[in-house]
Amino acid sequence: MEIKILGMGCPKCKRLEQLAREAVEEAGVEATILHVTKMDEIMAYPIVSTPGLVINEVLKSSGGCRARRRSSPGSRRDKDNSWLPSSQEGQGQV
């Protein structure tokens, strides 16, 4: 799987990259994560604002990052990893 973070390097872009790396690790899938900072490369996607999240050349989100949420007060923080394929679906893809 290939994941691209589209953005010039603002705090939201950096945060999205961090969340993507954490989500990939927690899901147990193999992925290459690239941070695309060149404007001409970013504009190759149908993106209106950054940061953008591209998975296997499909734009999944733009203009922000998914927030972490708590399952219940005092519990370990949990993320919405629904955009990631399961570890079995990601087998053999890098």
pLDDT tens, 4-24? 999 998 999 999 999 999 999
Is 41 in contact with 30 (CB distance < 8 Å)?
A: no
CATH architecture of 2-65: 3-Layer(aba) Sandwich (3.40)
Catalytic residue among 13, 16, 23, 27, which?
A: 13
Q: For this structure, is 65 an active site residue?
A: no
Q: What is the pLDDT of residue 63?
A: 86
Residues 6+ apart with CB under 8 A from 86: 27, 29
Nearest CA-CA partner of 16 in 48, 45, 70, 52: 52
Q: What is the pLDDT of residue 81?
A: 56
Sequence letter at residue 43: M
Chain Cα centroid distance, residue 91? 18
Catalytic residue among 2, 8, 9, 10, which?
A: 10
Q: What is the pLDDT of residue 64?
A: 75
pLDDT digits (tens, 9 = 90+) for 36-57: 999 999 999 999 899 999 999 9
